[in-house]
Amino acid sequence: MNIVSPDPVAIGHATIAFPFGLSPMAGYTDSAMRRLCFEHGCGFALTEVANARALARGCRRTRHLLHADASERPLGAHIYGSDPDALAAAAEWIEAQNRFDFIDLNAGCPVRKIVARGAGAALTRTPAKLESLVRAMTSRVKMPVTVKTRVGWTSAQTMAIDLARAAEQGGASMVSIHARFAEDKHSGPAHWGLLSAARQSVSIPVMGNGGVECAADALNMVRDTGVSGVLIGRAAVGNPWIFDRIRRLCAGEPDQGPSLAEIRKTALRQLESIISLKRIEYAHRQKAKISAEHAGVLQFRAHLARYLTGMRGWSSLRRRLEAISSIADIEAGIDEVFALQRETAGG
């Protein structure tokens, strides 16, 4: 493949030196996952999505979604909403925290409860509304505002160009576009050609997203569409090394995956970090049905699946996944699968 090394991307006063970042995913991209990705070469990241109205009124649980470590930079606070005043107030609160580099408006989430409020992917139907929401935010804060959207609601009406222009006209400093329609959610083909059309229609940076399964895919997206960079979502779950691998490919170096020992160490570090975050969250709860450790283990199970998928013995462990409820269970499951890998390699 032809090696592609994108230039740094400027968004307002912030600069993304290596424009391959971690896409926001509810329930996944918390501080624990982001820190690992940054350690392994991630160029920038977005938080989990947070409700702007709840942020503005001081909801502690919602604000916890934006918990971030000082090492996570550049970092965007990812929020959703359809009320301009609530979005502007949330943007002001985010700016006052001094731990983010930009504020990102979600205009692509297809989850029903978000769409029903006129937010998320519902905004792909109304570019004018998107423009007004972005303007409400940019008029109240000095830090950059960006947008993450899709190529449209359905394939019957492609909106990638209109949405990119709406974001730019509202004052956004960057737009990220998932190359699938909202009706497709996260499955089916990604329409990279629409990314190219959107990129050519605006002067602000356009990040691509969707259909990236490996490091080579990320470079191919840049080469084939001309986007300024790439946001990687599911391919980074249980695989923070994807960013290291992109960097190596950009440098023309041989691709190299992690050892079993490194996978085990990284997985358990992430589990410990998730539990630590749960302890912070639970410290303010009056009543909790389960412990912070138990809650962390339950959340980590989805990550464990991605760390081990495709390995010999994983299918057997997967059938017992719901019974895993402790750190010891996680360790035993990893060791069980890895013992089979070593046995196969030795044989």
Active site positions, annotated: 109
Residue-wise over 41-52: b if at least 16 C-beta within 10 A, else e? Answer: bbbbbbbbbbbb
Which H or E run includes 231?
strand 229-232
Backbone angles phi, psi at 222, to 5 degrees: -65, -45
The DSSP output letter for 262 is H
Question: Which is nearest to 30 in space by CA: 14, 54, 46, 19?
Answer: 46
Count, in order, helices (H) and strands (E) of the chain.
14, 11
Contact 48, 26 (CB under 8 A): yes
**Measured between alpha carbons, how far is residue 49 from residues 52, 124, 128 in Å?**
9, 17, 22
Query: In terms of C-beta density within 10 A (0-12 exposed, 13-18 middle, 19 or more buried), how is residue 329 classed?
Result: middle
